[in-house]
Chain A
Amino acid sequence: MNLTTNWLGLELQNPLVPSASPLSRSLDSAKALEDAGAGAIVMYSLFEEAVRAEEEGMSRFMHEQETGSAEAESFLPSHQDFPGELDRYLEQIASLKATLDIPIVASLNGVTASGWMTHAKEIADAGADALELNAYYVAADIWEEGHYVEQRYITLLNELQQQVSIPINMKLSPFFSSIGNMVKKLEMAGASGVSLFNRFYQPDIDIGGMRLQHVLTPTHSADALLTMRWIAMLHGRVECSLGATGGVHAAEDAIKVLLAGSDVVHLCYALLNNGPEEIGRIKKGIGEWMEQHGFEQLSDFRGSLSQVNVQDPAEYERLNYIRVLGSYDSPGGVWR
């Protein structure tokens, strides 16, 4: 059984790639992911805000301690060797590269094209095989027009390209007027791949305290359907790599997005909930399914249910919407 796949120009032994998560913070859990069969690892994200907050905090609490008191020029020990968020990230890349054989993809999470983008070069120098940019941008300004939002992504990509020559993967949210066009533009601008879709963690409201609260809601297999649709719509129409992310919890979910045309399948909550070994189980499930269906290698079926390949391409478009609504039955007792 051959599960090899090409993603971002990298040869992977299989398409199962843990997405950015705390699992890559520890060498032990990263090794466990590799042992369980991960094709590559996307590292936890280096957040623009975290780097910035650390800078501000360091400035405020480490470098600006003086108050003018004769008895105390400072209040915390000085640490010239204080390793920052970035240092630790770079060290972790180097450690992962030294420990693991699979490709390591670094992940930057940020939205502004400012000084922190230069970190990309150090990330590449530290040995990362590729770089994922997770532009977690909430277009909250009602006067910011859609094309400006899109241009922001292109600009970020261009900035990154000036810094590094390793492949760049763009992790996108579904909130574009024309996702396909957005992906195409990014591809034309030089992106080696896209991952669909990033999830915005939505704030909730605590009605008791009448305040906002932040809760982490895990994904479910149903979340993979949106990803699957767009992978299916883009497969064969763009040349860059396609990664499916969000909602892949079981072998069935993975097979679906592969059928839709993804080059890799990202896993997150499945691993956080069930441990790194879950990769092995999903991989085994894919293998068994392939065997049942007589497939020898991924390319035998990948994209076979993509829009360009299905009999009725409209299935992926509005027709699907109409059918689904029509099939919905309310719970008993609800008038409709």
Chain B
Amino acid sequence: MSPRQVTVDGNEAAARIAHLTNEVIAIYPITPASPMGEWADDWSATGVKNLWDTVPQVIEMQSEGGAAGAIHGALQTGALATSFTASQGLLLMIPNMYKIAGELTSTVLHVAARSLAVQALSIFGDHSDVMACRATGYAMLCSASVQEVQDFALIAQAATLVGRIPFLHFFDGFRTSHEIDKIYQVDHDTARAMLDEDLVVAHRRRALTPDRPVLRGSSQNPDVYFQGRESTNRYYAELPDLIAQVMARFGRLSGRHYGLFEYVGAPDAERVVMLMGSGIGAAEETVDTLVTRGEQVGLIKVRLFRPFSPRHLLAALPESVKSIAVLDRTKEPGADGEPLYKDVVTALAQAFAAGERTPMPQIIGGRFGLSSKEFTPGMVARVLAELTQERPKNPFTIGIHDDVNYLSLDWDAKFRPDAAHAVTRCIFYGLGSDGTVSANKNAIRIIGEATDQQVQGYFQYDSKKAGAITVSHLRYGMQAIRSTYLIGDGEADFVACHQPNFLARQDVLGKATPEGTFLLNSPVAPDAVWDSLPRHVQQQIVDKRLTMHVIDAYDIAGRNNLGRRINTIMQVCFFAITGVLDIGEAIARIKAMVEKTYGRKGRRLLERNFAAIDAALAGLHAVAVPAQVSSQIEMPPVVAANAPAFVRDVTAKLIAGRGDSLPVSAISADGTWPLGTAAYEKRQLALEIPRWEMDLCTHCGKCPLVCPHAAIRAKAFDAELAAGAPAGFLHTQIKGGKDFPPGTHISYQVAPDDCTGCGLCVEICPIRDRQNPQRKALNMVPIAAHREVEQANWDFFLGLPEFDRTTLKETTLKGAMIMQPLFEFSGACVGCGETPYIKLATQLFGDRMLIANATGCSSIYGGNLPTTPYTTNPDGRGPAWNNSLFEDNAEFGMGMRVAVDTQAEHARELLRKLAGEVDEALVEATLSAEQQSEAEIVEQRDRVESLKAKLATSSHPAARTLEGIADYLVKKSVWLIGGDGWAYDIGYGGVDHVLASGRDVNILVLDTEVYSNTGGQTSKATPLGAVAKFSAGGKPVVKKDLAMMAMAYGNVYVAQVAYGAKDVQVLRAFLDAESYPGPSLIIAYSPCIAHGIDLSDNLRQQGLAVNAGHWGLFRYDPRKTASGDNPLHLDSPEPNIPYRDFALSETRFAMLERTRPQVAEHFMKAAQRQIKNRFHFYEQLAHLAVGNNKDE
């Protein structure tokens, strides 16, 4: 029987072997390794057993450090245990890795290798993380393809039992972890035959047990520690041969043969390239091509990096080799070469010195592929060509343009390996939410399963969470596909554009090959579609002689009640046009996939999808392509012509997807980027925007508060300033006029190109027309008829001066919402529940705010390029932001506070010292300023400006120092922002410590009750009974009461808030927290798509959560005790609707009702009891008499 072939990605391939060969799996989510944990959890949750016929226990820990500790414990207690991780997570495991290796413990850690956070975080792939582990004592085995991921996962598991050395099995994040390939699946018999049962028993025999007690982990003194470290040498010395034997055994069982170092290329090669990981695919294609063309070149595939075995390397390297280029996918600043390069140099130098190898080849080292930077055959060819130089560049980089250090090699982007012509290449541009990626994954599986062809699928995603654009790259052909790079310009035989508006924004057809095929989804009729195309698109179609097809997939989807889900319709067109499969069979298989998805539970959905699939072919039309270009539609500029130079020169390229072309000089060396760039990225996502009805509006300020993207604004201004307003600009006399000068008008204005159309502003609007209750003071209207008018209005609105903050009543929503938000147009989800809180903080304190932001959603929509939503006010002030790590954010923020305090104190000291040099009255006023109100802060700023002017004229040496730090005399507001994954789990130790420090920091926890950014994994904030990833059976314990824990300190200001339930309380809490001169903690309820709700219901869900008592609103202000008042004030009433009514309105709870009704019922009752008890507990606390502390 031939081995079974499956179409899977690298993560699934690794996870399957890990799950099959282990008993304990400790996990923690991190991109791009999270899916491995999710697969393992899913399999265990559904009872999938391992080789020993038991279901592995999957446990989620509070951090990767925790996971490593749990694995260490499990291993020491005799279990076969594993974990999955990447990047910072791997760094957190390092201490335990030393221990595990030091104790000669058999285990495999699977790593989807990813960049480390340095000048910036990056989720993409390189070897920086694994290279940081090379001293731990783990063996390091690298897979270069999905097939190898599976095979090496098993080889590593077998070898670790044989050699007792733990293994770090790694493969490239995204390029391999997320690439879908057709592979031969290892069956259970092979897996069983690979693992020697005696060795498993031996592993168990080494376990700690009170039945055979021993002690490990002793503390040793200078007398023996050194000897102990040397005692393991033989295990490392023997390991390479043992691994080779295990590989040989695997080869006999599977027919797939591997070596520690494998050579391919000309037998008489003189030039060789050497590397690890997915780049091997591109390198092999290139070497094959060059050898065919008569070049004496070769490739060494490095599989085993640690223990590094010079003997095996030399055995693989042809004697004829004269020069070697060693490529490292990592960077070690300050080293005189990257790790693999140095090992190779040492190995050959030692062999040469020992007389085992002559002549000594010339060896150069280069860096490539950091953060999944493309690594193409053109680059490989260029590296090999460099070896022909008499003095090749060393070190060098390949893949970037380095105009600062001049290390980079230029390459021929048009170089194509012969293998490129053996496959069909297809590329699809889709929206993140329209199902394009999942449809393409299905398509690649269909081709893989229905034909003998090899397949490859790779998907480019977006860092935006709303309106994300995806690009799917599909290859298929009869030969093995090793093209581990994107489909390049002019290469795609088939280009599909699933969204017609992409044509005007992206170079969609740049990828198309001459004589290729173009499929467009467009609402325009086939005979008119040509005229609807932008000029440059027409030009490409004509120049490349493309065949064009069009379909109105939205129409077909709409007619079949599929909304905007066009994926299956487009899939049919792909199969029909490419003919890769008989169309009848393709349709049958697409339907089978749909049926598998929905099953009999979604009969109507099946009917709709089937109807749409059947209608697709009839809707697909060939477009007659004229010989001449006729369109006058030009591609609009990426950013406005009046944008700052940096935005035009750098940001615009990032937005347009041309960031690869930016040279080193364009990028700051220390990771510094300007604010305010999101305002230039006009994404035009909304189909509908809100329209203001002035006659009804009461100017309550609720709409700007709830807007997740700061796309609806309020501004107050002197009516005379509106004299030159565009005709459509709406403004009216402000209501509640006593707080404003006479003649003050107000405008509520939408930013039409930045609004995402979520409709929450309309949802929150409390004012209805009594004659026509359907009409509110805000109503959504289709954007088409309003865009141009509102664009002009928005520009005018921006040009109006900001209202004098010092006169605004910030305790009212109306007043606070007139303040300028300094956080706008982020990449957060449509209807995001987190961003309104951040926006509010920037409105109130943004011009003096320092933000420490934990890694997570808020650091991605807050700090992921191409643009930043944090911005400045007209004075140039705004939030200063940094993201250190996930786990250390509280400490990071506290460091900011301490630095501010230290420098402010130093400034005060110098001020006193220099009192004679400057105005004494000014000094006294500056030192004694309370800075409690906005006006007082502005006054202090003025004093500091005067002070600096006076200092400039002073020759006192201390004056220079004071000039540099005088700004710290103005109050600074330090905010520590992050999600519940940070505050409840990985960063809790730090949060706790900072709360205990008494320092004046403001901690804002955006509580979505799961790890949102990595895809909804359980945190300790996840409520009882909620289904989340890693809690497929419902979370069995109650949510941690973080507020109560913080209140226990007694000197921490604590508030629990939900803006959709009680907005004024949120405002009050933010003002209280900031004014409190000690640590403050605001825990903010943040509905999230991970709750299984539509975020257009965000506000309703907040109301339900509060009314059901799931989310109590309160404020705990320690200042109150001074006046004898109880510090705790409850802001929400006793729960007044059943918990069930809230819970069943969210899929995260409701799905358990389906899967485990009895368990769900148990949780439901337990949660109801707990809510009741907690409310009464809080109520009692709030009513406790507090002693009068005045006399103390």
Q: CB-CB < 8 A to B604: which residues of A? A: 52, 55, 114-116
Enumerate B811-833 residues with CB–CB distance to A below 8 Å.
829
Cα distance A11–B816 in the bound complex, in angstroms? 74
Cα distance A82–B602 in the bound complex, in angstroms? 11
Q: Mark B584-611, 1 if CB is under 8 A from A, else 0.
A: 0000000000000110111111010000
Q: What is the chain B residue whose CB lies nearest that of A79?
A: B1155
The 8 tightest CB contacts between A and B, nearest first, are: A68-B432, A68-B468, A72-B1015, A84-B601, A70-B461, A75-B1016, A75-B1090, A61-B1147
Cα distance A200–B1175 in the bound complex, in angstroms? 38
Q: B437, A66: Cβ atoms under 8 Å?
A: yes
Q: A76, B1147: Cβ atoms under 8 Å?
A: yes
Q: B433, A66: Cβ atoms under 8 Å?
A: yes
Q: What is the chain A residue whose CB lies nearest that of B1150?
A: A57
Cα distance A72–B178 in the bound complex, in angstroms? 12
Q: A68, B469: Cβ atoms under 8 Å?
A: yes
Contact pick for A67, options B601, B1010, B1089, B1154, CB 8 Å: B1089
Q: CB-CB < 8 A to B597: which residues of A? A: 63
Tell whether A67 pairs with B465 under 8 Å between CB atoms, given A60-B1094, A84-B1154, A116-B604.
yes
- Report the minimal beta-carbon distance from A154 to chain B, rounded to whole angstroms: 23
Q: B42, A77: Cβ atoms under 8 Å?
A: yes
Q: CB-CB < 8 A to B1078: which residues of A? A: none
- With an 8 A cutoff between CB atoms, is A162 at the interface? no
- Report the minimal beta-carbon distance from B642 to chain A, rounded to whole angstroms: 31
Q: CB-CB < 8 A to B42: which residues of A? A: 77-78
Q: CB-CB < 8 A to B481: which residues of A? A: none
Tell whether A79 pairs with B1151 under 8 Å between CB atoms, given A63-B597, A67-B829.
yes
Q: Mark B13-35, 1 if CB is under 8 A from A, else 0.
A: 00000000000000000011011
Q: Mark B450-483, 1 if CB is under 8 A from A, else 0.
A: 0000000000011111001110000000000000
Q: B123, A70: Cβ atoms under 8 Å?
A: yes
- Report the minimal beta-carbon distance from A50 to chain B, rounded to whole angstroms: 12
- Report the minimal beta-carbon distance from A26 to chain B, rounded to whole angstroms: 10
Q: B1089, A75: Cβ atoms under 8 Å?
A: yes
Contact pick for A72, options B601, B1016, B1027, B1094, CB 8 Å: B1016
- With an 8 A cutoff between CB atoms, is A59 at the interface? yes
- Chain A's interface size range is 35 or more
Q: Mark A93-120, 1 if CB is under 8 A from B, else 0.
A: 0000000000000000000001110110
Q: CB-CB < 8 A to A84: which residues of B? A: 600-602, 1154
- Report the minimal beta-carbon distance from B195 to chain A, rounded to whole angstroms: 29
Tell whether A88 pairs with B1157 under 8 Å between CB atoms, given A77-B45, A81-B46.
yes
- Report the minimal beta-carbon distance from A292 to chain B, rounded to whole angstroms: 45
- With an 8 A cutoff between CB atoms, is A326 at the interface? no
- With an 8 A cutoff between CB atoms, is B715 at the interface? no
- With an 8 A cutoff between CB atoms, is A86 at the interface? yes
- With an 8 A cutoff between CB atoms, is B38 at the interface? yes
Cα distance A57–B41 in the bound complex, in angstroms? 24
Q: B462, A68: Cβ atoms under 8 Å?
A: yes
Q: CB-CB < 8 A to A296: which residues of B? A: none
- Chain B's interface size range is 35 or more
Q: What is the chain A residue whose CB lies nearest that of B38?
A: A77
Q: CB-CB < 8 A to A88: which residues of B? A: 1154, 1157
Q: What is the chain B residue whose CB lies nearest that of A52?
A: B604
Cα distance A69–B1088 in the bound complex, in angstroms? 14
Cα distance A198–B722 in the bound complex, in angstroms? 63
Contact pick for A76, options B468, B600, B1016, CB 8 Å: B1016
Cα distance A85–B599 in the bound complex, in angstroms? 13
Q: B1155, A69: Cβ atoms under 8 Å?
A: no
Q: A77, B1027: Cβ atoms under 8 Å?
A: yes
Q: CB-CB < 8 A to B469: which residues of A? A: 68
- With an 8 A cutoff between CB atoms, is A21 at the interface? no
Q: CB-CB < 8 A to B1094: which residues of A? A: 60
Contact pick for A68, options B31, B470, B1013, B1032, CB 8 Å: B470
- With an 8 A cutoff between CB atoms, is B565 at the interface? yes
Cα distance A144–B926 in the bound complex, in angstroms? 80
Q: A66-B432, A66-B438 are in contact. List 5 more A-B contacts (CB 8 A).
A: A58-B598, A68-B468, A76-B1029, A77-B42, A79-B1151
- With an 8 A cutoff between CB atoms, is A83 at the interface? yes
Q: CB-CB < 8 A to B464: which residues of A? A: 68
- With an 8 A cutoff between CB atoms, is A87 at the interface? yes
Q: B601, A58: Cβ atoms under 8 Å?
A: yes
Q: A66, B435: Cβ atoms under 8 Å?
A: yes
- With an 8 A cutoff between CB atoms, is B139 at the interface? no
Q: A63, B598: Cβ atoms under 8 Å?
A: yes
Q: A83, B1154: Cβ atoms under 8 Å?
A: yes
- With an 8 A cutoff between CB atoms, is B506 at the interface? no
Q: CB-CB < 8 A to A116: which residues of B? A: 603-604
Enumerate A33-55 residues with CB–CB distance to B below 8 Å.
52, 54-55
- With an 8 A cutoff between CB atoms, is B1073 at the interface? no
Q: CB-CB < 8 A to B602: which residues of A? A: 55, 58-59, 84
Q: CB-CB < 8 A to B607: which residues of A? A: 115
Q: B1154, A82: Cβ atoms under 8 Å?
A: yes
Enumerate A280-310 residues with CB–CB distance to B below 8 Å.
none
For this complex, 10 residue pairs linking A to B, each with C-beta atoms less than 8 Å apart, are A55-B604, A57-B1150, A66-B437, A67-B433, A69-B461, A70-B32, A76-B1029, A82-B1154, A84-B602, A88-B1154
Q: CB-CB < 8 A to B1092: which residues of A? A: 61, 75-76
Cα distance A69–B857 in the bound complex, in angstroms? 11
- With an 8 A cutoff between CB atoms, is B1148 at the interface? yes
- With an 8 A cutoff between CB atoms, is B1104 at the interface? no
Contact pick for A64, options B31, B565, B1028, CB 8 Å: B565
Q: Specify which of A60, A71, A87, A115 lies most central, judged by the most chain B CB atoms within 10 Å of its CB.
A: A71
Enumerate B1016-1038 residues with CB–CB distance to A below 8 Å.
1016, 1027-1029, 1031-1032
- With an 8 A cutoff between CB atoms, is A317 at the interface? no
Q: Mark A13-44, 1 if CB is under 8 A from B, else 0.
A: 00000000000000000000000000000000
- With an 8 A cutoff between CB atoms, is B931 at the interface? no
Q: B1032, A77: Cβ atoms under 8 Å?
A: yes
- With an 8 A cutoff between CB atoms, is B358 at the interface? no
- With an 8 A cutoff between CB atoms, is B174 at the interface? yes
Q: B1013, A70: Cβ atoms under 8 Å?
A: no
- With an 8 A cutoff between CB atoms, is B1014 at the interface? yes
- Report the minimal beta-carbon distance from B1077 to chain A, rounded to whole angstroms: 38
- With an 8 A cutoff between CB atoms, is A125 at the interface? no
Tell whether A76 pairs with B465 under 8 Å between CB atoms, given A59-B605, A69-B432.
no
Q: What is the chain A residue whose CB lies nearest that of B860?
A: A71
Contact pick for A77, options B31, B34, B41, B565, CB 8 Å: B41
- Report the minimal beta-carbon distance from B84 to chain A, rounded to whole angstroms: 15
Q: What is the chain A residue whose CB lies nearest that of B468?
A: A68
Cα distance A75–B1155 in the bound complex, in angstroms? 17
Q: A68, B601: Cβ atoms under 8 Å?
A: no
Q: CB-CB < 8 A to B1061: which residues of A? A: none
Q: CB-CB < 8 A to B468: which residues of A? A: 67-69
Cα distance A63–B465 in the bound complex, in angstroms? 18
Q: CB-CB < 8 A to B1090: which residues of A? A: 75-76
Q: What is the chain B residue whose CB lies nearest that of A56?
A: B605
Tell whether A69 pairs with B462 under 8 Å between CB atoms, given A75-B1089, A76-B1090.
yes
Q: CB-CB < 8 A to B1012: which residues of A? A: 72, 75
